[in-house]
């Protein structure tokens, strides 16, 4: 295969045509507990259905989405938030 697969959120799975869903992201507390490998009493693994990639990977490549039928993995960066509009002060007088 030559070239990248162009894929947009909402498109069906390119492998089987199934539904692609976003995997949950662990919270900061969950990431900290999973990273604590020195103390076996405090180590808690991330749930298997969560995105287990390091935060740096998620920031660079995007959040993990997988097909519910075949498990096809895909990372997608969320759309940038719309620019905030500064509040306008209205005076009557």
DSSP string, 4-64: PPP--TTPPPTTTS--EEEPPPPPHHHHHHHH--S-TTT--PPPTTS--S-HHHHHHH-EE
pLDDT score for 5: 65
pLDDT score for 50: 92
Residue 64: Cβ within 10 Å count: 20
pLDDT score for 89: 67
pLDDT, tens digit (0-9, with 9 covering 90-100), for 34-79: 888 888 787 888 888 899 998 899 899 899 999 999 999 988 876 6
* Residue 74 backbone dihedrals phi, psi, to 5 degrees: -155, 135
Give yes or no for residue 1 having a pLDDT over 60: no
Q: What is the model's pTM? A: 0.67
């Amino acid at each position: 295969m030559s070239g990248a697969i162009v894929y947009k959120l909402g498109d069906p799975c390119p492998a089987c045509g199934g539904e692609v869903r976003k995997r949950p992201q662990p919270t900061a507390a969950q990431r900290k507990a999973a990273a604590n490998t020195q103390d076996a009493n405090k180590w808690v693994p991330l749930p298997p259905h969560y995105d287990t990639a390091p935060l740096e990977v998620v920031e660079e490549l995007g959040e993990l989405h997988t097909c519910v039928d075949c498990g096809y993995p895909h990372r997608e960066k969320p759309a940038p938030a719309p620019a905030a509009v500064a509040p306008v002060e209205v005076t009557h007088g």
